[in-house]
Structure 1
């Protein structure tokens, strides 16, 4: 090997730990960005599907009327009997 190559190798070896740490940080940031993008996509798809499913549905209020006069008469009869 020429002296130039030896000097480059020594310089790379001296900075190897710093270079590895930087590469690891970049890889972690790339993974984090990919995770965020996937989460946003999944949430967007879920929201869109929910919107399509509930689009045609309308909420109607059902009012139920019940005649409780017979029950009231029965209970008042029990109260009077005591």
Structure 2
């Protein structure tokens, strides 16, 4: 070997601990950066999925308001007709016949 190669080898051997520590530090930083990137991607995906799920739940849980006053009035009118015998069609026919005869009775 040439003297140049021997000197380089001796210097490498003397600084081997420093070189190994530097390589380990760089490897650790590379791994840490990879973990941080993966963690960021997972958090971003989770947040996106959570946002979509809550948006779908909001659309599912919307209330539908219906105005049922017309139905209530109709059922009340039917109940009145059933309980009030004067408003039945038969009673109206009798009243019409009596009015044509001129014999309308008042209560």
Q: TM-score range by the shorter chain?
A: 0.5 to 0.7
CA distance in 2, matches of 1:26, 1:43: 26
**In structure 2, what is the equivalent of residue 9 of structure 1?**
9
- Structure 1 position 56, deviation (Å): 2.4
CA distance in 2, matches of 1:16, 1:57: 61
Secondary structure of the corresponding residue to residue 50 of structure 2: helix
Secondary structure of 2:56 counterpart: coil
Cα shift at 1:60: 5.6
> Computing the radius of gyration over CA atoms, which structure comes out larger, 1 or 2?
2
What TM-score, normalized by structure 1, do the two folds share?
A: 0.67
Aligned length: 61
Map of 1:74 onto structure 2: none
Structure 2: where are the runs of 5+ without partners?
Answer: 64-107
Q: TM-score, normalised by structure 2?
A: 0.53
Structure 2 partner of 1:56: 56
Moved over 3 A (4+): none
CA shift at 1:57, angstroms? 2.1
The root-mean-square deviation of aligned C-alpha atoms, in Å, is 1.5
2:31 matched to which residue of 1? 31
**Bigger RCO (CA 8 Å, 6+ sep):** 2
More helix by share: 2
